[in-house]
Amino acid sequence: MTSELSKTFDPSSIEQRWYNHWEDNGLFRPERPDAQPFTIVNPPPNVTGSLHIGHALDNTLQDIVIRYERLRGKDALWVVGIDHAGIATQMVVERQMEEKQDKRTNYSREEFVQKVWDWKAESGGTITGQLRRLGCSMDWSREQFTMDEHFSKAVLKTFVDFYNDGLIYRDKRLVNWDPKLKTAISDLEVETQDIKGQFWHFKYPLADGVTLADGRDYIEVATTRPETMLADMAVAVHPTDERYASVVGKEVVLPITGRRVKIVEDEHADPELGSGAVKITPGHDFNDFEVGKRAGIAAGDMLNMLDSEANVCQTADGLVPDEYLGLHRFKRDGTDGARELVVKQLKELGLLIPHITKTKKGEELELDSEPRTIATPFGDRGGVVIEPWLTDQWYVDAEKLAARPMEAVRNGDIEIIPQSWEKTFFHWMENIQPWCISRQLWWGHRIPAWFGPKVSGDKISYDFSGQIGCETFVGIDEQDVSLQAEKIYSKVGFNQVAVFDSYEDLITSGILAKGHEKTVALWRDEDVLDTWFSSGLWPFATLGWPDENAPLYQKHYPNDLLISGFDILFFWDARMAMQGMKLTDQAPWKRLYLHGLVRAADGSKMSKSKGNVVDPLGLIDQYGADALRFFMAAMESQGRDIKMDDERVKGYRNFATKLWNATRFCQSNGIGGSTTLEAPAATSAVNRWIIGEVAETLAKLDAAMADLRFDAAANIIYHFTWDTFCDWYIELVKGNFDDETKAVAGWVLDQILVMLHPFMPFVTEELWNAQADRANYPLITAKWPEFSASVDADAKAEVEWLIGLTSAVRGAKNELGVPPGQKLEAYCPAPSALAADAIARNSAAIERLARITTIHTSEAPDGAAMQIGAGSDTLIIPLEGLVDIDAEKARLNKALEASAKEAKSLEGRLSNANFVERAKPDAVEKAKADFAHHSAEVERITAALARLG
C-alpha cells in the first residue's frame, strides 16, 4: 500500500521527522558485527564553532560516503566529536567576561577552567545540532570531546612516551609570541601579511677611534624595527665585504644604551643590501638568533627587552634608559612607543641618516625613513603582530616523525586525492621545523611535566626564573613523578617529595621554610598543549587507543578515508599521520581526500569582516537540506574551490520536487514499492530497456564513487532520474500500466531512491516509505541495488529508435512552425527490420509522443512534405497545406550542409594513408562508420530536396 503524498514537496516538513527517526532507532550505526568495517572520523569542529558553509561541504561529502557504504552493507562508522580548541575557546569565555568588566585573572585557574566547562555545557557544541539539520549520519551515541577523560589519558600517554623517546624536549629558543593572547603559537598559526612600513638608516659610532677605510667613524645599519636596537648585541658584515674587513672584531658603541658590541662576520649580511652591515638583535629576530648563535652567544645570554605584552623591560645588562621602560614596542592607539622614541633620539643625536626622495614636482625631500612594504607576521587568532620572543617551550622533534608519513605516501599506504597535493605535502614535510606545542593558556591539556631543584654535588638549588636549569620530571601523574624524583633526590639526602600544582602553590605552602629540610618540592609546568597535538590522535584515540585490544580500535583502525579541507593539511592531516604512525605503527587512514574552499558568489573568500558569509542553515531553510547537499556534491570536482551559487541550489530543490511528483504520478497509477532486489521479469522492450539503463547507471555510479568523483556521481543519478526515467520511460509507458509495467516502474523508482539516498537522504526516505509500508525496512539501512539483469541490446535499439524518431519529428515541426500537437501520418516505404518491429510494437507510444498516427510502408504521395531520419530509416511526412516548402528546403539545406561538411572532413582523414596505417583500429572503424552515416545522410537529404523541387 502506498500512502498519499501531498501535492507539493515541503522539505522542512519531513527533515526533522526523519532525522529523529533515524537517530532514535540507532540507524546511523546498526549492529553489523560480521560486516566489513568502513570508518571515517569527522574533523572535530571547535566547541565554539557554528556550522559554516565549509563544514556543510566537508560533512556532506563524508555523509555521502558513509551512507553509500552503509547501504552497501558495511559496518560503517562515522566518528564524531568536538575539539576543545584551546585558544579560541579561552578567547570566547574571556570576551564574555570583558563584557561584564570581569577578567580571567580575577579567578584562580581552577575557577576559570570551571567557567569554561560551564560555558561548554550551556552553549558549546551548537554545531552538533546543525550537523543534524544537514542530515549527517554520524554515530552520535559515541560522540566524543577532546577533553574527555579517556581522550585526555591518550594525550598524556603520548606526551610521556614521546618525551621518553626523545621526541619531545624543552628548549630555549625564539618562539612566535602573541603579545595579545600572551602565549606562544606554532609557525603554522602565523600569517604573514604585506603591510606598509618604513626602513630607517642609522649611524652606529665605531668605538676606540677606529675608522673605516674611507675614513668614516661610524657604520651604517638599516632596520624596519628601530626599537630592537635597545637589545642589539652585534653588527654583522659579510666575510667577503672589503669595506668592513678592517673593522671586523672591533666594536661599536650603541647610541642610547651605550652598549659596546662586536662587529662580526656572517654570511647573513648581504653586501648588496643597503650598506651591507646589519644590526643583530638575537633575542628578537629569527635570523639574528642564528647569527648570534654562530657568533658564540648562547641562547640564555641573549638580551631580552620586551615583556609578555611587548612592552619594553630592562635588559639583563641594565643599559636600557628608564624613560623606555613600560613603553609599548611601537605606536599603539595613538600613543608613541619605543620605536618612535628611538627614532626621535637618534635624530637628535644626529645619527639618523635621512631618506632623500623627490616630490612629483621634482623638489628634493628629506624623510626620516624610506617607505617600504614589509612582510609582517600576525597571529591568526589574536590578529596582532607576532613578536619573536626568547622563552622556554616544549617542542616536538617533527623531523623525526615526518619520515614515515612521507614513506607511506610514497609507497601508496596513504593515497592523497587529488594527487596534486602530494608535492605540497612533501615540500612541507621535508622542510619541517620543530613544533612548539606548549601554550600559555589555562584551557587545554595540562602538560604532564614537573620541575624540581637542580642537584649539584650534594646540594640542591631552586631556580624559579626559568626551567631549563631545573630537574625535569615527566610522568602520567604526581605519583609517577614523585617516584622518579625520589630516585634523584634521595642520593643527596632528601627522602620526602612534595608535589605542587604550580609554582605559586609551592610558595604559599611554605614548604621551603625551616622545618622541611628533608623535603624536596616539585612544581608543575603551568602550560597546556597545542590543541592540534591532541587532535592529532583523533583517528585512534576515539576508538579506544591506547588500549590496543579495544574492539573498536581492532576493527576500525586504520580508518578507510579522511576527508578534510586542504587548509588543514599541515595543521591536522600531516600531524595525524606523524603521530599516528609513531604511536600505532600504521597510517591512520588509507586515503586522504582534500577538498577546496567554498567561496562567495564573486569568488572572494568568505569572511565575517567582509560580511559575505553565506549561512548554510539559511540555505537549508530556503531550499532544503537535500538541495544544499546535492549542490555540494555536484560542485565538488577534485581540486577546485566551489563558488556559491544559490540558483544552482534552487535547481536541485527543483530536482527533488521533480522526483516527488514523479513518485506521485506513479502512485496515482497504482505503482508501489518493489519487493525484490532482483529486477521484475519484463517482456516489453521499454521495460527491458529501462532495467538495462538502471544497470548501466549503477555501474557508472559505483565507478564514480570508487574514485570519489562526487560531481560525476551526482550528475549520473540526476540525469538518470530526470532525463531517462521521467522524460522518457514514464512518457513511453503512460497510459499503459499493465502489471508488468507497474512492477518494473516500481522497481526502477526504488533503485533511484536507493542510489540517490546518499545525496538526498530526506526526500528519498520519505518517498521510500510512501511507496510501501516499510517501517521495518527503512531506506537508510536498505540494500544497495543488487540484481542480475543487464542491458538488453535489442530492447535498447528499439527504444532508442523510438526516441530518435520522436526527437526528430519534434525538432522538424518546431523548425517548420508546425504546431507540436498536430497529428500527422508518415511514410516509410522500406523500413529496416528494427523500424518495422519498433513501429509494429509501439504504435500507441508513437502516436502519443511523436504524434504520428500511422506509418505507411508505401511510397509517399507527391507534394510538400518534411523528411526526418530515425536511426538509419527515412520517414516522409506529408505536410500539404501545413507548411511552406521554402522553410522545409531551408531546414534540409542546413542539415545537408552540416552532414556534407562532416563527411568531407572524414573523407579527408580516411584518404590519408598515415591515418589509416597508424591510427588505432577502432578510431579508423569509427571514422569509416561516421563517414558512411554522413554520406547516407547527404544522399537522403539530397533526394528529399529533389522531391520538393
List, as residue ranges, the binding site for ATP. Answer: 608
Site string for RNA, 5-44 (x = CB under 7 A): ---xxx----------------------------------
Q: Shortest distance, CB of residue 591 to RNA, whole angstroms?
A: 18
Binding mask 809-828 for RNA (x = CB under 7 A): -xx--xx---xxx-------
Strands (E), 27-120: 37-41, 75-79, 81-82
- Give, as ranges, the residues between 919 and 938 that touch RNA (CB under 7 A): 919-920, 923, 926-927, 930
Least CB distance to RNA at residue 665 (A):
3
Q: How far is the CB of 654 from RNA (least distance, A)?
A: 3
Q: In what order do the strands lie in the sheet with 75-79?
A: 75-79, 37-41, 559-565, 589-595, 415-417
As beta bridge partners, residue 520 has 497
Residues 158-197 that bind RNA (CB under 7 A): 187-188, 191-192
DSSP-derived secondary structure for 41-52: E--PPBTT----
Task: Rule CB under 7 A: choose which of 407, 641, 786, 939 binds RNA.
Answer: 641
∠ CA(221), CA(224), CA(226), 5° rounding? 70
Out of 161, 397, 526, 731, name the contact with RNA by CB under 7 A. 731
Tell which positions 596-625 bind RNA, by CB under 7 A: 599, 603, 605
Give the nearest distance from C-beta 887 to RNA in angstroms: 13
Rg of the Cα atoms in the chain? 38
Q: For residues 562-601, which are near RNA according to CB under 7 A?
A: 599
Q: How many CB atoms lie within 10 A of CB 833?
A: 7
Helix/strand/coil for 560: strand
Nearest to 667, CA basis, from 769, 558, 803, 518: 769
Which stretches does DSSP call E strand in 179-309? Answer: 183-185, 190-205, 218-223, 234-237, 251-253, 260-265, 277-280
**Residue placing its CB nearer to RNA in the complex, 336 or 815:** 815
CA separation (Å) from 624 to 350, 600, 612, 651, 819? 71, 20, 21, 12, 39
Report whether 594 contacts 564 (CB < 8 A): yes
Instruction: Please pick, from the candidates 316, 367, 375, 703, the single residue that binds RNA as defined by CB under 7 A.
Output: 375
CB of 414 to RNA, least distance (A): 18
Q: Does an H or E element contain 811, and which?
A: helix 793-816
* Contact region with RNA (CB under 7 A), list: 60-68, 539-547, 870-878, 914-922: 914-922
Residues 648-677 that bind RNA (CB under 7 A): 648, 651, 653-654, 656-658, 661-662, 664-665, 668
> How many residues sit close enough to RNA to count as binding (CB under 7 A)?
68
Residue nearer to RNA on the CB measure, 882 or 919: 919
Closest contact distance (angstroms) between CB of 899 and RNA is: 13
Given 61, 71, 520, 730, the residue binding RNA (CB under 7 A) = 730
Is residue 226 within 8 A of residue 346, CB to CB? The reply is: yes
* Burial degree of 656 (CB within 10 A; 0-12, 13-18, 19+): buried
Q: Which of 101, 683, 914, 949 contacts RNA by CB under 7 A? A: 914
Among the residue ranges 70-78, 117-125, 510-518, 711-719, the one whose residues contact RNA (CB under 7 A): 711-719
Could you say which residues in the range 776-815 bind RNA, by CB under 7 A?
807, 810-811, 814-815
Measure the CA dihedral 785/789/792/796, to 10°.
Answer: -20
Residues in the chain: 949
Nearer to RNA, 483 or 923 (CB): 923
Rounded to the nearest whole angstrom, what is the least distance from the CB of residue 735 to RNA in the complex?
9
Question: Residue 350: how many CA atoms within 13 Å on its side-chain side?
Answer: 2
Window 423-462: contact mask with RNA (x via CB under 7 A): xx--xx--x-------------------------------
Q: Judged by CB under 7 A, does residue 224 bind RNA?
A: no
Chosen residue from 354, 469, 639, 778 binding RNA by CB under 7 A: 639
Q: In what order do the strands lie in the sheet with 471-474?
A: 471-474, 449-452, 519-524, 496-500
Q: How many helices (H) and strands (E) does the chain have?
A: 30, 35
Grid cell, residue 939, equals 544522399
Closest CA to 545 of 587, 584, 585: 584
Q: Which stretch binds RNA (CB under 7 A): 39-47, 173-181, 291-299, 632-640?
A: 632-640
| Least distance from RNA to the Cβ atom of residue 638, Å | 7
CA atoms within 13 A on the CB side of 905: 8
Round to whole Å and give the CA distance between 817 and 57.
Answer: 47
Decide whether 17 or 605 has the Cβ nearer to RNA: 605
d(CA 43, CA 539): 9
**Beta carbon of residue 848, minimum distance to RNA (angstroms, whole number):** 11
In whole angstroms, give the CA distance from residue 522 to residue 498: 6
Contact residues: RNA, CB under 7 A? 8-10, 187-188, 191-192, 375, 420, 423-424, 427-428, 431, 599, 603, 605, 635, 637-643, 645, 647-648, 651, 653-654, 656-658, 661-662, 664-665, 668, 711-712, 715, 722, 726-727, 730-731, 734, 807, 810-811, 814-815, 819-821, 905, 909, 912, 914-915, 918-920, 923, 926-927, 930
